[in-house]
């Protein structure tokens, strides 16, 4: 797990850089950041870290899942050793931007070492069986995998760079 000071630094980055950004910057950012009742949720996995923006109710639901030691984002990232199809494979990839994509009936990503990825308007649909369907939309998330270069001690530095990159991308291209 990341230590408490890194956790607080990551929360502050999310709030100050994105949720509390000046109006002229916020206008070019994804719409979820302008909605009320939105907050950052941090998930500290063994091999990766996710910063996702969700409603307060969704954050409560995700916290309950994590408290039970379950993955709050099943089928998003393929676990190591699982032999199933995957939509996109990343390995040592930096500043990957997945924008307005839907993935059905497969794992979304396999993550190698040292990746930094942004998800914007991402939808996942998994049909487990005829009665069970898992459907989830991720309005905005930042994913970083650990490896030789990125670890939990320098995670906030890489997150800061990834957030800065995304802001620059959206401001230049107004790419909501």
Mean pLDDT by runs of 10 across the 176 residues of the chain is 89 95 93 94 94 96 93 88 90 95 90 96 88 88 97 95 96 67
Whether 41 and 58 have beta carbons less than 8 Å apart is answered as yes
pLDDT at 111: 94
CA distances from 54 to 92, 110, 138 (A): 27, 23, 8
A 10 A CB-CB count for 137 gives 11
How big is the chain by its Cα radius of gyration, in Å?
Answer: 16
Cα 26-166-161 angle, rounded to 5 deg: 120
Structure pTM? 0.93
Q: Which residue has the tokens 């009665």?
A: 131
**DSSP labels, 104-151:** ESSEEEEE-SS-EEEEEEEEEEEE-SSS-EEEEEEEEEEEEE-SSS--
Distance CA(21)–CA(25), nearest Å, equals 6
Distance CA(101)–CA(1), nearest Å, equals 30
pLDDT at 174: 53
For strand 86-90 and strand 107-111, is the pairing parallel, antiparallel, or unpaired? parallel
For strand 96-104 and strand 86-90, is the pairing parallel, antiparallel, or unpaired? unpaired
Whether 113 and 145 have beta carbons less than 8 Å apart is answered as yes
Q: Which residue has the tokens 């993955």?
A: 71
Distance CA(8)–CA(14), nearest Å, equals 10
Query: Hey, where are the domains in the chain?
Result: 4-171
């Amino acid at each position: 797990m990341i230590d408490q000071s890194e956790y607080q630094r990551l929360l502050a980055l999310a709030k100050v850089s994105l949720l509390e950004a000046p109006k002229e910057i916020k206008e070019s950012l994804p719409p979820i950041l302008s909605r009320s009742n939105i907050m950052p949720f941090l998930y500290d996995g063994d091999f990766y870290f996710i910063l996702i923006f969700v409603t307060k109710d969704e954050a409560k639901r995700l916290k309950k899942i994590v408290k039970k030691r379950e993955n709050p984002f099943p089928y998003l990232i393929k676990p190591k050793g699982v032999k199933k199809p995957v939509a996109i494979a990343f390995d040592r990839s930096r500043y990957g931007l997945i924008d307005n994509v839907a993935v059905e009936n497969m794992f979304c990503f396999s993550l190698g070492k040292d990746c930094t990825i942004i998800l914007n308007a991402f939808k996942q649909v998994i049909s487990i069986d005829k009665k069970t369907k898992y459907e989830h939309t991720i309005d905005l998330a930042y994913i970083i995998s650990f490896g030789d270069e990125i670890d939990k001690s320098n995670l906030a530095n890489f997150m800061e760079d990834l957030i800065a990159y995304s802001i620059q991308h959206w401001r230049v291209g107004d790419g909501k």
